[in-house]
């Protein structure tokens, strides 16, 4: 009777301890599937049952339990390798409605076969993360890109970057403190066709290396998506590179290139498809047109800048709520600055 009582006491302690470990290892979400916590729980229970008097002196049960323990160690080592994401800036979390990771693995393995730079390899993260916690996760673990998604879309989340004013790049623009939106935080890409999507994302990852050639290649991918709004994003990034080069050097060729890339971006996108990319592109194009107006004194460029303001101003409130507040405030500040600067006279 005493042995039986000890059995239940120890069993209760193991269950409580296992539950505590489970909670501690899932700080962002409770909906775990295969996780480190589960391996620890299973391992502790196996150790306990191996020492249990019911099987302790029986050879066959001990062999079975030993085999299971060895397999757990092997699976745990594999799991740790694929979830040890400390040294990578890019992490993929499990896709929605993908319990066996079929869709997730297609994207991850496809990217990893194509990237030539090991620092851009995608690592798997076995926990699920709510959308509202993504930026907290990125900030906590110092990641650059999180890849998520479902059967229809691949969802890329980017580390939040602060918008910056022209005066930071060139002190000559200190009195004209227009704000450039550096990056967006979200991008949706159609899941199919899979080969095209994998190729597109692979090239896009090279933005972390400031590789303009790879970003340029995304424009010439000869695949047909039902929705092409994602193709605006690399053009937006290229426009940013040239706009910053212009502000630093005052070389008008760079400004013309920036305007060209922003216009290319707008040719792919509608506001309700990837609203952040649309809003950021229009803001930076508005700034570019105004700089063009200042450098040429041609009134048409000021009119173009005003048209860009109208584009973003008329966005429906439902869509506008999807755009981060700092981006909206930067846009309004730009409008106030442009409106209050007197007209340039030849």
Bigger pLDDT: 125 or 127? 125
Is residue 244 over pLDDT 60?
yes
pLDDT tier at 53, thresholds 50, 70, 90: low
The angle subtended at Cα 330 by Cα 241 and Cα 242, nearest 5°, is 10
Instruction: Please tell me which residue, 252 or 168, carries the higher pLDDT value.
Output: 252
Closest to 107 measured CA to CA, from 34, 36, 204: 204
CA distances from 222 to 29, 115, 195, 206, 218 (A): 39, 19, 11, 19, 9
pLDDT, tens digit, 9 for 90 and up, residues 60-105: 556 666 666 666 666 666 555 555 566 788 988 888 887 777 888 8
Compute the chain's Rg from CA coordinates.
27
158 band by pLDDT with thresholds 50, 70 and 90? very high
Q: What is the pTM of this model?
A: 0.76
Contact 161, 182 (CB under 8 A): yes
Measured CA to CA, the distance from residue 116 to residue 129 in angstroms comes to: 29
Among candidate residues 168, 333, 337, the one with its CA nearest the CA of residue 248:
168
* Token pair in block for residue 104: 């997730």
Domain boundaries, the chain: 2-83, 160-340
Asked whether 265 and 232 are in contact (CB, 8 A), the reply is yes
pLDDT at 274 over 70: yes
Give percent of the chain above pLDDT 90. Answer: 37
> Whole-angstrom Cα distance, residue 9 to residue 188?
52
Q: Give pLDDT, residue 235.
A: 95
SS (H, E, C) the chain: CHHHHHHHHHHHHHHHHHHHHHHHCCCCCCCCCCCHHHHHHHHHHHHHHHHCCCCCCCHHHHHHHHHHHHHHHHHHHHHHHHHCCCCCCEEEECCCCCCCCHHHHHHHHHHHHHCCCHHHCCEEECCCCCHHHHHHHHHHHCCCEEEEECCCEEEEEECCCCCEEHHHHCHHHCCCCCEECCCCCEEEEECCCHHHHHHHHHHHHHHHHCCHHHHHHHHHCCCCCCCCHHHHHHHHHHHHHHHHHHHHHCCHHHHHHHHHHHHHHHHHCCCCCCHHHHHHHHHHHHHHHHHHHHHHCCHHHHHHHHHHHHHHHCCCHHHHCCCCHHHHHHHHHHHHHHHHCCCCCC
Q: Largest alpha-carbon pair distance within the chain?
A: 102
Confidence at residue 76, expressed as pLDDT on a 0 to 100 scale = 61
The pLDDT of residue 32: 38
Given this model, what pLDDT does residue 50 score? 60
pLDDT at 331 over 90: yes
Q: Give the pLDDT of residue 31.
A: 36
Q: Distance between CA atoms of 7 and 312, rounded to whole angstroms? A: 68
pLDDT of residue 68: 65
Judged against a pLDDT cut of 80, whether residue 127 lies above it is answered with no
Mean pLDDT of 156-173: 88
Residue 38 vs residue 297, higher pLDDT:
297
């Amino acid at each position: 009777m005493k042995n039986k009582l000890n059995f239940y006491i120890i069993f209760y302690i193991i269950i409580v301890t296992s539950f505590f470990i489970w909670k501690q290892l899932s700080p962002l979400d409770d909906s775990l599937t295969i996780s480190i916590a589960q391996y620890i729980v299973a391992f502790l229970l196996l150790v306990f049952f191996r020492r249990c008097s019911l099987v302790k002196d029986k050879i066959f049960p001990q062999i079975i339990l030993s085999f299971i323990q060895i397999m757990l160690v092997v699976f745990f080592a594999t799991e740790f390798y694929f979830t040890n994401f400390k040294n990578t800036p890019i992490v993929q979390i499990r896709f929605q409605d993908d319990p066996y990771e079929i869709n997730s693995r297609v994207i991850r393995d496809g990217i990893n076969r194509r990237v030539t730079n090991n620092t851009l390899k995608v690592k798997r993260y076995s926990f699920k993360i709510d959308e509202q916690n993504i930026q907290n996760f990125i900030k906590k673990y110092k990641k650059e890109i999180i890849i998520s998604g479902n059967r229809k879309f691949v969802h890329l989340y980017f580390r939040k970057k602060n918008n910056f004013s022209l005066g930071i790049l060139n002190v000559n623009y200190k009195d004209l403190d227009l704000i450039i939106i550096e990056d967006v935080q979200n991008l949706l890409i159609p899941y199919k066709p899979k080969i095209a999507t994998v190729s597109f994302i692979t090239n896009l990852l090279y933005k972390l290396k400031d590789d303009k050639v790879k970003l340029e290649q995304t424009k010439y991918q000869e695949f047909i998506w039902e929705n092409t709004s994602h193709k605006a994003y690399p053009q937006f990034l290229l426009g940013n590179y040239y706009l910053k080069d212009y502000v630093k050097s005052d070389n008008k060729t760079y400004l013309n290139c920036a305007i060209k890339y922003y216009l290319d971006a707008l040719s792919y996108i509608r506001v309700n498809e990837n609203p952040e990319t649309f809003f950021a592109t229009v803001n930076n194009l508005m700034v570019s047109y105004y700089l063009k107006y200042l450098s040429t004194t041609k009134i048409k460029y000021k009119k173009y800048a005003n048209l860009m303001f109208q584009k973003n101003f008329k966005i429906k409130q439902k869509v506008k709520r999807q755009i981060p507040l700092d981006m909206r405030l930067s846009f309004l500040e730009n409008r106030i600055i442009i409106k209050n600067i007197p007209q340039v006279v030849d």
